[in-house]
């Protein structure tokens, strides 16, 4: 038995670092996907190849995955296979061929796209009784426990659950989710993604430190998670100024997500969400302290050129920004950012327009 499956990257309209704090987020799936061609075997081996890494052909025994000393990109798909086995599902053997179109290190969740493409392929290939919620958790566990990146479930949720033409409203405390219409073209708008060409690595410690700081902030406030705090004034009860800033970002970011969702559901002109996007960047820069000179320069240049709102996206420490722009101004904004990067001596950025797309699925 064999087949081909895809899973998309994602970009978050609003809601960064809220997932592991029990908060809210509003992602869309990108048209860029990771493709997984999978074939069942019965030899007890997992074989993996990648079009992006043609020199790396890995072969590991499934029984030995727990102790496999494999680094780099292959750790993500191997982690998914391992997590299936660890949970008691029988994988007799599999051959996986990966091809990724999601920019790596751009804050667009290329790792989750790999995980989810492999996870859905294994589920279908071996007819395993796995719900979407379990599929998402398998991807999360692979990244947390096998790769060592302390992420939440935002990226996997978006990759699996998003639908074309919609943003996905996620409540990470209750598990509730809803599709929110997000038709920018009808309003004469585009969502421009600007990859600053400064790759980030979530497993290098910065992400884990922010997660630990949020947990400590919640403990200082006597709550299970920062989701329980809805008033910014309550954050002032935290003595540590760093933890106070981290908590303030989460509380205000949750409010921004709810504000954007309310506007979109009410059918308001999507341009109205622009100031909330820009406020989100300021919070990530100043309170969460995960921005970079390149991200800040891209946001500033986009706003100067007429974007209605702009902010960094993803885990931070590099990656991409989004800019909400009138369709006729997109090229002007790209040129403004390119000129700013040239003046600053930064590596030239990469750009594309994000269109809300479908989640993970089998294509053949």
Spatial CA neighbour of 80 closest among 69, 99, 96:
96
Tally: H helices and E strands in the chain: 9, 12
Q: Which residues of 134-143 are buried (b: 16+ CB within 10 A; e: fewer)?
A: ebbbbbbbbb
Structure tokens at 156: 């996997």
> Rounded to an integer, what distance in angstroms lies between the CA atom of residue 167 and that of residue 193?
16
Kindly name the residue from 19, 137, 155, 287 that is annotated as catalytic: 155
Spatial CA neighbour of 168 closest among 176, 178, 153:
178
Angle at 106 between CA 324 and CA 22, to 5 degrees: 75
332 flagged as catalytic: no
Spatial CA neighbour of 78 closest among 53, 49, 105:
49
| CB-based contact 22:172 (threshold 8 Å) | yes
For 53-83, give the DSSP string: -TT-EEEEEGGGGGG----GGGHHHHHHHHH
Pairing, β 94-100 against β 45-50: parallel
> Rounded to an integer, what distance in angstroms lies between the CA atom of residue 155 and that of residue 309?
22
Spatial CA neighbour of 278 closest among 321, 309, 324:
309
Pairing, β 189-195 against β 94-100: unpaired
Spatial CA neighbour of 85 closest among 142, 47, 38:
142
**Helices (H), ranges, the chain:** 75-86, 110-125, 132-141, 154-161, 206-221, 241-265, 274-286, 293-304, 330-344
> Rounded to an integer, what distance in angstroms lies between the CA atom of residue 309 and that of residue 322?
8
Positions marked active-site: 155
């Amino acid at each position: 038995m064999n087949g081909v499956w895809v899973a998309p990257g994602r970009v978050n309209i609003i809601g960064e670092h809220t997932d592991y704090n029990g908060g809210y987020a509003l992602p869309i799936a990108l048209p860029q996907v990771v493709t997984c061609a999978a074939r069942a075997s019965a030899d007890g081996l997992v074989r993996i190849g990648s079009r992006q890494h043609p020199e790396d052909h890995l072969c590991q025994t499934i029984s030995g995955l727990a102790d496999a000393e494999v680094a780099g990109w292959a750790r993500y798909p191997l982690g998914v296979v391992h997590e299936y086995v660890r949970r008691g599902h029988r994988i007799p053997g599999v051959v996986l061929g990966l091809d990724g179109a999601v920019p790596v290190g751009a804050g667009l969740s290329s790792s989750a796209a790999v995980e989810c493409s492999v996870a859905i392929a294994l589920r279908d290939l071996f007819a395993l009784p796995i719900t979407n919620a379990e599929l998402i958790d398998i991807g999360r566990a692979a990244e947390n426990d096998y790769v060592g990146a302390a992420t939440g479930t935002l990226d996997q949720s978006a990759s699996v659950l998003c639908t074309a033409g919609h943003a996905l409203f996620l409540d990470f405390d209750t598990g509730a989710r809803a599709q929110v219409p997000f038709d920018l073209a009808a309003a004469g708008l585009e969502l421009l993604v600007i990859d600053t060409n400064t790759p980030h690595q979530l497993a290098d410690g910065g992400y884990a430190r922010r997660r630990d700081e949020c947990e400590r902030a919640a403990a200082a406030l006597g709550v299970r998670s920062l989701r329980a705090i809805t008033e910014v004034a309550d954050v002032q009860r935290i003595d540590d100024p760093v933890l106070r800033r981290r908590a303030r970002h989460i509380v205000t970011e949750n409010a921004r997500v709810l504000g954007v969702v309310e506007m979109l559901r009410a059918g308001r002109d999507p341009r109205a969400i622009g100031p909330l996007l820009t406020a989100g960047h300021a919070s990530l820069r100043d309170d969460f302290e995960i921005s970079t000179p390149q991200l800040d320069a891209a946001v500033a240049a986009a706003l100067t050129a007429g974007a209605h709102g702009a902010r960094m996206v993803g885990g931070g420490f590099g990656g991409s920004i989004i800019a909400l722009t009138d369709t006729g101004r997109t090229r002007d904004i790209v040129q403004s950012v390119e000129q700013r990067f040239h003046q600053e001596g930064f590596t030239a950025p990469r750009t594309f327009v994000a269109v809300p797309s479908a989640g993970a699925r089998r294509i053949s």
